[in-house]
Amino acid sequence: MRRGRTILLNVLAIGILGLLLSLAEAYCNGYQTQILNLIAINIILALSLNLIYGFTGLFSLGHAGFMAIGAYVCSILIMTPDQKDMLFLLQPAYDWVQNAQAPFFAAVLAGGAVAAIFGAIVGIPLLRLGDDYLGIATLGFAEIIRVVANNIPRLTNGALGFKGIPAYADLWWNFGWALVTLYVIVRLLQSNTGNVLKAIRDNEIAAKAMGVDVFRYKLLSFTVGSFFAGIGGALLASLLTTIDPKMFLFTLTFNVLMIVVAGGLGSLTGSVLAGIGITVLLEWLRVVENPVNLLGFSLPGIPGMRMVVFSLALIVIILFRREGLMGMRELTWRSLAGVFSREKA
């Protein structure tokens, strides 16, 4: 019965989300819609990094690299050959790049798949490293992807990047993929395989003694995480319609990391809530980068100020609430019901 009720509530929640999205579609202006779209994509990215870092304990800083792979693969597949003709000004695209085409859904999936393949390829050597080295090595990987993107003009159009990528990624696609991501990661973590991942995070030596092939499960988590990072990157490319190597700097990984830490390492609902909160906050903080007039004093806009405020916020979180918003707890229907019944009592 419990299980039936949970499924019913989940279906209901998805229905309400659908309703809200159609309302948003009808009444939100372009800017507001953009923020909603970014929320969905940030949730995808945060969930995938939380799987890797929060649930498996792998301190990876390579998310921007996997996003770049997803973004480029998807963009190449959804731009028409004519578009690519116009775009590759410096050098013509490789024939297979020129002719490759796929519908949006398949293109996003391909973006995720290629990112996952790269995840596995770099994971095989890197996941044998200790924790600190893993962070540095994955950071290096993301940087290599960026440099490669800059230097293979016939594949990526070099520093110019892509413009006019078809804007297919609307609210429905983005939130649809966010739900898929949530579903897959929740099911993975609820299965006994999820217990194994958490065991590796908690005590790797004990996990080995329990017969866990630690390397294999780290690779699984890293590959699934890379897959969804690629999906997020693919959607982002189609949402923003332009990409170039500069977009995939470390700050992009940092944003995602911020969401994961703020929401709670090891809490999926934390990532969802922080994904919403921090995306809104980041937009709202744009104010501090514009010139403002405060009671007759005019303050000049300082570019980059947003990230300063942002970084300070991260430091404050680490100092005063290291476990983030949710710690390792999850918001479930049952815990929600508990809150309401307690309030009534």
Partner 1 sequence: MQPTPQDVILETRDLNMRFGGLLAVSDFSAVFPRGSITGLIGPNGAGKTTCFNMITGFYKPTSGQVVFHGEEVQGRPPHALCRAGIARTFQNIRLFNNETVLENVMIGRHLRQKTNWLQTLVFTPASRREEKEIRARCMELLDVVGLADLAGEKAASLPYGAQRRLEIARALATEPSFLLLDEPAAGMNPQESEDLMGFVRTIREAFGLTILLIEHDMKVVMGVCEHLWVLDYGQTIASGPPEAIRSDPKVITAYLGEEQPHA
The binding site for partner 1 (CB under 8 A) comprises 183-184, 187-188, 190-196, 198-199, 201-203, 205-214, 266, 328
Quote the Cα angle for 185-189-193, to 5°: 120
As a whole number of angstroms, the distance between CA 108 and CA 49 comes to: 18
**Residue 132 beta carbon to partner 1: minimum distance, rounded to whole angstroms:** 22
**Residue 46 beta carbon to partner 1: minimum distance, rounded to whole angstroms:** 20
Length of the chain: 345
**Residue 323 beta carbon to partner 1: minimum distance, rounded to whole angstroms:** 11
Taking the least distance from each CB to partner 1, the nearer of 199 and 260 is 199
**Residue 185 beta carbon to partner 1: minimum distance, rounded to whole angstroms:** 10
Helices 2-27 and 333-344, packing angle to 10 deg:
90
Taking the least distance from each CB to partner 1, the nearer of 163 and 198 is 198
Q: Are 248 and 145 within 8 A, CB to CB?
A: yes
Q: Which residues does residue 297 pair with via DSSP β-bridges, in sequence order?
A: 294
Provide the sign of the torsion angle of the four alpha carbons 248, 253, 259, 263, taken in this order: positive
Tokens representing 328 are 């390792």
Taking the least distance from each CB to partner 1, the nearer of 201 and 306 is 201
Taking the least distance from each CB to partner 1, the nearer of 187 and 286 is 187
Taking the least distance from each CB to partner 1, the nearer of 55 and 66 is 55
**Residue 213 beta carbon to partner 1: minimum distance, rounded to whole angstroms:** 5
Taking the least distance from each CB to partner 1, the nearer of 209 and 294 is 209
**Residue 58 beta carbon to partner 1: minimum distance, rounded to whole angstroms:** 16
As a whole number of angstroms, the distance between CA 232 and CA 252 comes to: 12
Taking the least distance from each CB to partner 1, the nearer of 221 and 253 is 221
**Residue 109 beta carbon to partner 1: minimum distance, rounded to whole angstroms:** 15
Residue 95: CB partners within 8 Å, gap ≥ 6? Answer: none
**Residue 8 beta carbon to partner 1: minimum distance, rounded to whole angstroms:** 16
Q: How far is CA 270 from CA 149, 248, 312, in A?
A: 33, 25, 20
Taking the least distance from each CB to partner 1, the nearer of 210 and 309 is 210
As a whole number of angstroms, the distance between CA 35 and CA 41 comes to: 10
**Residue 80 beta carbon to partner 1: minimum distance, rounded to whole angstroms:** 34
Taking the least distance from each CB to partner 1, the nearer of 206 and 312 is 206
* DSSP string covering 113-171: HHHHHHHHHHHHHHTTS-HHHHHHHHHHHHHHHHHHHHH-HHHH-GGG-B--------H
Residue 279 dihedral angles phi and psi, to the nearest 5°: -65, -45
Residue 210: CB partners within 8 Å, gap ≥ 6? Answer: 199
Determine the number of helices (DSSP H) and then strands (DSSP E) in the chain. 16, 2
